[in-house]
Structure 1
Amino acid sequence: MRFYIKHIDNKSRTGAIETARGVVNTPAFMPVGTQGTVKAMFPEELKEIGAEIILSNTYHLYLRPGHEIIHQLGGLHKFINWSGPILTDSGGFQVYSLSSLRRIREDGVEFRSHIDGSLHFIGPEKAMEIQAMLGSDIAMAFDECTPYPAEYEYAVKSLELTTKWAGRCKEYCESVKRRIAETEIKRYEDSGNSPIHPFTHSPIQSLFGIIQGGMYKDLRKRSLEELMEIGFDGYAAGGLSVGEPKEEMYEIIEFIAPLMPEDRPRYLMGVGDLVDVLVAVENGFDMFDCVMPTRNARNGTLFTSRGRISIKRTEFKADPDPLDPDCNCYTCRNYSKAYLRHLFLSKEILSMRLNTIHNLYFYLDFFRKMREAIDNRTFKQFKKYWEEVWTGHPR
């Protein structure tokens, strides 16, 4: 993986992440394909509307259908028919969300499947093994997601565990690289050719470390410094958007972003509210993921250039206009609000499809316009305009 910065507007920046499977322009939004599918979307449709990378979930794919099966069938890209880059999370957040079904140990987490109650264990090495077999382009280190609220002492222990696990994840990945290097060098020597760079033809994953520390700035700084000492291809801020007040989240975003390495991608995990995204981009974050556009679409809430719309409202019963006259997505080019309301109230499958196409298009187009604003050094005006659209007043 190679990352470079294109333009800077104050702290906000545009850049590009180059991977073997394609380029990801940043700031980037990653549609979430939890179980190997972005719900209601064909992979070809994702590409058509501008998706350059998607996210899949280690925990869910480990439980069903199983990472060994996916590996046997050619890896995750082939399994889901997606040729672009994929980022896989480590499963740490999903295990955290199963607090009643899991037990944290020094060597990892023991938990019961939410599907059938069977007992499982995932530690740093296992998380890396699963992601390696899935064959994602970017893997996330296994972490202990600090809950909110958390006492200082708990946040310290959580941070220390995350750092310890991050070191073990890095060592596992380095051992894989060494094994591949030895295999590649021997292959070229056996063929009579001169050895070339041993990783050139090998699917080496990039590895991101995850910053924890709860809402404590000193712990966030410590977590980042310890991760930087280990060394990662990118750095992510985890443990945010887990129930804390917005202002507390913004304080951490504004504090930690400028401390993160400038020459590595900065990923804000699980944050997708567009006002939150604007604050994060203003402070220099590059990557985002969230289920908001797809989940809201299925629930009838749609994002437009005029704000959010609940398509089930009576006022749209006979409305012949498109959902968003400024939107060029398939849904807005072809269907009225009246029809979208009818589909939703009738519980038709097409409702989920058309709503999801629109919401994802809107998100990806928003990020494209945001990149243009940064390139043109007009991000401040862009942010002010959209904050007024979404909240009625700029922050």
Structure 2
Amino acid sequence: AGGAVFGSIVGGSNIEERKRCAQEVAVRNVSGYWIGGFGLGESMEERPSLLNAVTDNLPKDWPRMICGLGLPEEVLQGVAAGVDLFDSAYIYHLTIGGFALTFPLDRTEKNDYNYQLSDQGSDRTKINLRATVYRKDATPIVEDCCCYTCQNHTKAYINHLLNVHEMLAQILLEIHNTHHYLGFFRSIREAIKEGCFEQFQKKFVQSRREHLAADVVSV
């Protein structure tokens, strides 16, 4: 008794159904809204319209939580539409795959990415620490990162742990990835506070597009 209840909003890829569901749930006695059915195959291009069909019809004073979006560019789309909370297994899947987040958190910082690593799953947001290129790399995952992993261990050490199937590899990656991901959300909050979230989002998305274009050329 007395627990907070979030109203569930669905509707698939149908904008009108999304809108209708949001309007119906908006008049219920709930403490917030859970937006479901995303991250199931909708394109990056159609997602904003689907999100806005929901959030435009919800009261602004109650939290909006979404499930299924976790990639940085997906999070930015959600925030742009007015989503407050994200329920995602993104960090877990990254960690299990041996990936480490590396994208810049400082809006003025550039990411010097090696396109030759694309075929191993690396991109402008993450690196694959199973790759042999890191076997003798005595640097931290991210320079100046203050997480426990980066302060105490190197890419080479984590590469070794991954290749011998030592569970400590996942622990160290989980520490770093969680720290980096939370830093990403902190940067988003700062951009919103400073009134430059739109530029922050555009810069991030543009960086991703440049990577994808360069990756196609390199192939």
**TM-score of the alignment, normalized to the shorter chain, above 0.5:** yes
Match of 1:126 in 2: none
Q: What are the superposed Cα offsets for residues 124-177 of structure 1, whole Å, 9 maximum, x if unpaired?
A: xxxxxxxxxxxxxxxxxxxxxxxxxxxxxxxxxxxxxxxxxxxxxxxxxxxx4x
Q: Give 1:323's aligned residue.
A: 141
The equivalent residue for 1:133 is none
State how far apart, in whole Å, the 2-side matches of 1:388 and 1:302 are. Answer: 21
Q: Is residue 241–residue 271 contact of structure 1 (8 Å, CA) maintained in 2?
A: yes
Q: Which runs of 5+ in 1 are unaligned?
A: 1-175, 177-203
Q: CA RMSD in A?
A: 1.8
Matched residues in 1 for 2:72 and 2:154: separation? 25
Point out the structure with max Rg over C-alpha. Answer: 1
Quote the residue 1:244 is aligned against.
42
State the aligned residue count: 192
Identify the residue that residue 270 of structure 1 maps to in structure 2: 68
1:317 partner letter: R
**TM-fit CA distance, 1:259:** 1.9
- Aligned equivalents of 2:203 and 2:148: distance in 1? 25
1:380 and 1:248, CA in 2 relative to 1: closer, same or farther beyond 3 A? closer
The answer as to whether partners of 2:39 and 2:68 remain within 8 angstroms in 1 is yes
Cα 1:267–1:215 change in 2 (3 A) is: same
Cα deviation code 1:249-294 (max 9, x no counterpart): 2320133222221111111222111101101111211110211112
Match of 2:91 in 1: 293
1:1-395 matches, cutoff 5 A: 176=1, 204-305=2-103, 306=111, 307-392=125-210
Counterpart residue type for residue 186 of structure 2: R
CA distance in structure 1 between the aligned counterparts of 2:97 and 2:197, rounded to whole angstroms: 31
**5+ residue gaps in structure 2?**
104-110, 112-124, 212-219
**Contact 1:250–1:279 at 8 Å: present in 2 too?**
yes
C-alpha separation in 2, matches of 1:263 and 1:212: 20
Alpha-carbon distance between aligned partners in 2 of 1:228 and 1:260, rounded to the nearest angstrom: 6
Match of 1:78 in 2: none
Amino acid at match of 1:278: L
Structure with more strand by fraction: 1
The Cα shift of 1:231 comes to 2.4
Aligned-partner Cα distance in 2 for 1:259–1:392: 35
Report the Cα offset of residue 365 of structure 1. 0.9
Structure 2: distance between partners of 1:388 and 1:335: 32
Q: Which residue of 1 aligns with 2:114?
A: none
Q: How far 1:218 moved relative to its partner?
A: 1.1
Residues 330, 385 of structure 1: CA spacing in aligned structure 2 closer, same or farther, 3 A cutoff?
Answer: farther
1:370 partner amino acid: I
1:387, distance to aligned residue in structure 2 (A): 2.2
Displacement of 1:247 in angstroms is 2.3
Query: 1:389, CA displacement in angstroms?
Result: 4.0
Rounded to whole Å, the distance in 1 between the matches of 2:200 and 2:128 is 25
Structure 1 residue aligned with 2:107:
none
**Greater RCO (Cα-Cα under 8 Å, separation 6 or more):** 1
CA contact (8 A) 1:294 1:360 kept: no
Q: Is the 8 A contact 1:304 1:324 kept in 2?
A: yes
How far apart in 2 are the matches of 1:302 and 1:389?
A: 18
> 1:377 offset after TM fit, Å?
1.0
Do 2:48 and 2:81's aligned partners in 1 also have CA atoms closer than 8 Å? no
Q: In 2, are the aligned partners of 1:241 and 1:249 still within 8 Å (CA)?
A: no
Amino acid in structure 2 at the alignment position of 1:221: K
Mean CA deviation greater in 319-328 or 354-363 = 319-328
Matched residue of 1:255: which SS? helix
Cα distance, 1:341 vs structure 2? 0.5
SS in 2 for 1:206: coil
Q: 2:56 is paired with a residue of what secondary structure?
A: helix
In structure 2, C-alpha distance between the alignment counterparts of 1:349 and 1:296, rounded to whole Å: 15
Preserved contact between residue 73 and residue 205 of structure 2 (Cα < 8 Å): yes
Offset of 1:210 from its aligned partner? 1.0
